Amino acid sequence: MALSIQDASYSYGKAVALKNFSSCFEPGAVTALLGPNGAGKSTLFKLISGLIRRQSGDFSLDGESWTSHSPRIFQKFGFVFQEPALDSMRSGLANLKYAAGLHGLDRPKTKQRIEETTSLMNCSSYVHRDIRTLSGGERRRIEIARALIHKPKWLLLDEPSAGLDINSRAKLSLDLHSLASNKGLGILWCTHVTDELCPQDALVILINGENRYSGSCGSQDEMIRTYNQMVDKHG
């Protein structure tokens, strides 16, 4: 299920956040979305998720266009935003059950999906603990498990590793790439940390609201060099 965005523009008053942004993201792969602060990455995520109303552009999934009033299409997405969205006063298990209920899963299906997603994200051993007792990396894993509870086709991650130590980032990267390659999940990954990406990942560089580069990540040196060239040229 390819995710296609054509000519998307968005402004906050006179401030332009996106300008004729177009890209096609392929399923079963990781696509990295890089760009300086204020480049429009979070705005793009909010438009895809329907958190803000679109001003222009066509959004389609597997060739089918959708609007902010297309709940059936939104069921095919899982979102993890920068701001924590778990109830810190409840357990990880309670958070997952609540998410399953929002997606209309019955009790047997909820139990099955919790077992599957916590296994995929390697968080089964602490899912019964209260969120407030968990580390940042453990919380993120449960957030991602929650985003996967309804078996979406696409997972959108807005800097999921922010604040994590290098080992936690590396393990999270390994598991997310495994989801893409082994489960066919499409992952759109907004990040500033290039070492959590792989050479075969797709790369889109967003600068001042415009798509300035689409290609593959390549090696760390190649990726950093390409990014710096685009910032120097268009920043």
Dist CA 211 CA 82 (whole Å): 22
Nearest-CA neighbor of 180 among 162, 202, 150?
A: 202
Joined together, the tokens standing for residue 86 give 């778990």
pLDDT of residue 185: 95
Residue range 24-35: average pLDDT?
Answer: 94
pLDDT 10s digits, 37-82: 889 998 999 999 888 999 999 999 988 887 766 678 888 999 998 8
Dist CA 211 CA 35 (whole Å): 10
Percent share of the chain, pLDDT over 90: 76
Q: Is the pLDDT of residue 164 over 90?
A: no
pLDDT of residue 66: 78
CA distances from residue 76 to 39, 124, 154, 156, 159 in whole angstroms, order as listed: 26, 24, 6, 11, 20
Joined together, the tokens standing for residue 148 give 């996967």
Lowest mean pLDDT among 87-96, 100-109, 153-162, 208-217: 153-162
Which distant-in-sequence residues (6+ apart) come within 8 Å of 156 by Cβ? 45, 48, 49, 77, 78, 79, 80, 187, 188, 190
Burial class (CB in 10 A: 0-12, 13-18, 19+), 186: buried
pLDDT 10s digits, 170-192: 999 999 999 999 999 999 999 88
User: What is the Cβ-side half-sphere exposure of residue 22, based on CA atoms within 13 angstroms?
Assistant: 5
Q: Which residues pair with 32 in a beta bridge?
A: 189, 203
Q: Is the pLDDT of residue 207 over 90?
A: yes
Residue range 124-151: average pLDDT?
Answer: 95
What is the layout of strands, in order, in the sheet containing 3-12?
15-25, 3-12, 58-61, 64-65
Joined together, the tokens standing for residue 89 give 């006063």
Residue range 205-221: average pLDDT?
Answer: 94
| Domains of the chain listed by start with CATH number | 1-76+154-235 (3.40.50.300), 82-151 (no CATH)
Q: Which amino acid is at 184?
A: G
Q: Is the pLDDT of residue 15 over 90?
A: yes
pLDDT band for position 130 (50/70/90)? very high
What phi, psi does 205 have (nearest 5°)?
Answer: -110, 120
Lowest mean pLDDT among 98-102, 110-114, 161-165: 161-165
Residue range 116-143: average pLDDT?
Answer: 95
pLDDT of residue 85: 87
pLDDT band for position 124 (50/70/90)? very high
